Amino acid sequence: MIFPIEDLKKQDTPCYYYDLQLLRRTLTSLNAEIAGWPYYVHYAVKANANPVLLNEIRQAGLGVDCVSGWEVQRVVENGFSPEKIVFAGVGKTDKEINYTLDNDIFCFNVESLPELEVIDQLAAQKGKVAKVAIRINPNIDAHTHKYITTGLNENKFGITLDMLDGVINRALELKNVSLEGIHFHIGSQLTDMSPYKMLCDTINELLTNLESKGVMLKIVNVGGGLGIDYDNPDEHEVPDFAGFFSIFKTGLQLRQGQQLHFELGRSIVAQCGALITRVTFVKEAKVKKFAIVDAGMSDLIRPALYQAHHKIQNLTGDDNVTCHYDVVGPICESSDCFGEDELLPKVTRGDLLAIRSAGAYGEIMASRYNCRPFANVFVKQ
Ligand code: LLP
């Protein structure tokens, strides 16, 4: 990632900075890995819905994965073609379903039997047939933070394997839904690829099983979750897409004409974004030195919510003198802390710090806590 320091110095902080060249390199690398395969990537909009980023992603030819009617609206307004939109979520309201039906999207990822019945009824009222994929909860442990594990029996997502036959039979009976496929998403920030291997085994078995009952599906959607390197963002600025897709290329036995869909969010946008923050005060306390910055948990909640650590850099400090700091925000909560005992070039009031890998689940998860305004945004073309 390139930091245009002089431009950044002129910005109001806190500020989300995006390096579009890095996003483009990431998208090029991703597209190279799927070329020639019946693979379709839907960018998971929940990671970052900034229109400038969406525009790049659309131009690179990707589809989108939405989890609310408002996300669907955002991407429709951004020019994404409805045939490239999938819509998941355990609690789709009638309003959201109706809006999405009106836009004739590619597929609903359906998470429960009552939802399937409601989509059928609402589609019938419009004289439409909604394309659906059944989200299956495969009970596979993604070995990630418990708040972002989604594929275990105790999670609220999807339909458990023992209930699948009943739901598939019902989908085949209903007149206003068309069963197109099956959908999975086992968790986020996966750095160990073995859960994906297990997922391939589960899917192979399932497809054979369904085929023996005469059910042929056009779509298999394996969701997202590919993790990124938060500790070394410069060494791994583009994620290992080759390694990720090779799991599916070798492990999954797609049938003739079957399409494999992915919903990657973090791996596409995380590394091209950084939260730039100014040091307000350096406070020397009894046992600690605090670098108090003008960004807080309202701007980037990941450290407070998931105990996540983002690499912190002093962009304007002198590399020859270093010191340890707790880097904390101004918000009245002790969890408003970006890093403890961070070794940084000596920090002085006014220095600019970069909190790295903040392109995913940063800006979009911001809140107005303490009546703070949303952070500024600066994009480098
Ligand atoms: N598909 C579905 C159905 C999902 O629920 C998610 C993420 C994705 C795709 C994209 O996953 P990704 O490729 O970005 O890992 N706020 C948390 C992450 C929550 C992920 C929720 N679902 C964080 O900051 O780590």
Torsion over CA: 31, 32, 33, 34 (sign): positive
Q: What is the pLDDT of residue 154?
A: 66
148 lines ligand 1 (CB under 6 A): yes
| Integer Cα distance of 117 and 107 in angstroms | 15
- 54 C-alpha vs ligand 1 centroid, how far in Å? 17
| Integer Cα distance of 255 and 203 in angstroms | 12
- 356 C-alpha vs ligand 1 centroid, how far in Å? 18
Cβ atoms within 10 Å of 153's Cβ, excluding its own: 11
Which atom of ligand 1 has the smallest separation from the CA of 183?
Answer: 3
224 lines ligand 1 (CB under 6 A): yes
Q: What is the pLDDT of residue 169?
A: 95
- Closest CA relative to residue 168, chosen from 89, 101, 108, 113: 113
Q: What is the pLDDT of residue 148?
A: 61
Q: CB–CB of 266/310 below 8 Å?
A: no
Asked whether the whole model's pTM tops 0.75, one would answer yes
Q: What is the pLDDT of residue 69?
A: 96
223 lines ligand 1 (CB under 6 A): yes
Which atom of ligand 1 has the smallest separation from the CA of 267?
Answer: 13
- 187 C-alpha vs ligand 1 centroid, how far in Å? 7
Q: What is the pLDDT of residue 147?
A: 66
65 lines ligand 1 (CB under 6 A): yes
Return the bridge partners of 16, or none: 275, 377
Kindly give, in sequence order, each residue whose CB lies less than 8 Å from that of residue 70, ignoring residues fewer than 6 positions away.
none
Where do the DSSP E strands lie in 15-96? 15-19, 39-44, 63-66, 85-87
Environment class of 139 (CB within 10 Å of its CB; exposed 0-12, middle 13-18, buried 19+): middle
Q: What is the pLDDT of residue 223?
A: 97
| Integer Cα distance of 223 and 138 in angstroms | 12
| Integer Cα distance of 339 and 356 in angstroms | 12
Quickly tell me which residue has 């006014």 as its tokens: 350
Nearest CA to ligand 1 atom 22: 188
Please state the length of the chain. 381
311 lines ligand 1 (CB under 6 A): no
- 116 C-alpha vs ligand 1 centroid, how far in Å? 23
Q: What is the pLDDT of residue 150?
A: 66
Per DSSP bridges, beta strands 312-314 and 352-355 are: antiparallel
Cα 293 to the chain's mean position, in Å?
Answer: 27
263 lines ligand 1 (CB under 6 A): yes
244 lines ligand 1 (CB under 6 A): no
- 109 C-alpha vs ligand 1 centroid, how far in Å? 15
- 316 C-alpha vs ligand 1 centroid, how far in Å? 33
Where do the DSSP E strands lie in the chain? 15-19, 39-44, 63-66, 85-87, 107-110, 130-137, 159-160, 177-183, 219-221, 259-262, 273-284, 289-293, 312-314, 318-328, 337-346, 352-355, 376-380
- 278 C-alpha vs ligand 1 centroid, how far in Å? 29
Q: CB–CB of 27/57 below 8 Å?
A: yes
131 lines ligand 1 (CB under 6 A): no
Nearest CA to ligand 1 atom 23: 361
- Residue 104, token pair as written in the block: 């004739």
Averaged over successive runs of 10 residues, the pLDDT of the chain (381 residues) comes to: 96 98 98 98 98 98 97 96 95 96 95 96 98 92 69 74 92 97 95 96 95 94 98 97 98 95 98 98 94 98 97 94 97 96 97 98 98 97 92
Q: What is the pLDDT of residue 140?
A: 87
- 349 C-alpha vs ligand 1 centroid, how far in Å? 36
Q: What is the pLDDT of residue 207?
A: 95
361 lines ligand 1 (CB under 6 A): yes
- 205 C-alpha vs ligand 1 centroid, how far in Å? 26
Q: CB–CB of 208/201 below 8 Å?
A: no
- 282 C-alpha vs ligand 1 centroid, how far in Å? 35
Q: What is the pLDDT of residue 149?
A: 64
266 lines ligand 1 (CB under 6 A): yes
Return the bridge partners of 112, or none: none
Which atom of ligand 1 has the smallest separation from the CA of 360?
Answer: 24
Q: What is the pLDDT of residue 151?
A: 61
Kindly give, in sequence order, each residue whose CB lies less than 8 Å from that of residue 9, ignoring residues fewer than 6 positions away.
316, 352
Q: What is the pLDDT of residue 43?
A: 98
Which atom of ligand 1 has the smallest separation from the CA of 265?
Answer: 14
| Integer Cα distance of 157 and 88 in angstroms | 10
